[in-house]
Amino acid sequence: MKISHFAAIAATAIALSGCATVFEGTSQEITIVTNPPGANCTFDRQGLQVGVIASTPGTANIRKSKYDITIHCTKPGYQEGQYLNHSGTTATIAANVAADLILTAGLSSIVDSADGADNKYDSAVNITLLPLTDNSATAVSPPATAPAVTSAPIAPPAPAKPAS
């Protein structure tokens, strides 16, 4: 009886290892909608591109990580739009930690943290792109003519008074 009880606990512990990995997965779909539509968006994490949407609206499947993602969207005639998508923890993490301590002695939390399953990003992102204006479309150029410089003659200094 004791052996079967131990076997049942061990089987449960193995089944629940990486609880968030099993239930939440290690990647996530992020949908981008831009105003106006038709923008090209890239997903960057720690200086590396991790996803692309060729034309918005669209969805990219991104591997989860503890690191934030910066989303850059561009469209001709518009300023670049950016969104910092923070990496947060999933709702299952609290239940996972409680069960983890009892059943797996920390194993499932280690698995979930290692593969990013205990992290999540905002799954729907809206970005508004502002039209380029004449000032933002061209680089600031120097004035066409140099500003006029006026000068007045400098008066000679007043004579010094002798000390008394």
Q: What is the mean pLDDT of residues 62-90?
A: 92
Q: Which domain holds residue 80?
A: 2-135
Indicate the number of domains in the chain.
1
Q: For residue 41, how far is the Cα from the chain centroid?
A: 13
Quick: pLDDT tens for 80-95: 999 999 988 766 555 5
Residue 92's CATH number? 2.60.40
Residue, of 138 and 75, whose pLDDT is higher: 75
Lowest mean pLDDT among 108-112, 116-120, 127-131, 159-163: 108-112
In a domain, 155, yes or no: no
Residue 135 has pLDDT above 50, yes or no: yes
In a domain, 53, yes or no: yes
Lowest mean pLDDT among 3-17, 32-46, 66-80, 114-128: 3-17
In a domain, 140, yes or no: no
In a domain, 113, yes or no: yes
In a domain, 151, yes or no: no
In a domain, 112, yes or no: yes
In a domain, 44, yes or no: yes
Residue 94 · residue 4 · CB < 8 Å: no
Residue, of 79 and 142, whose pLDDT is higher: 79
In a domain, 58, yes or no: yes
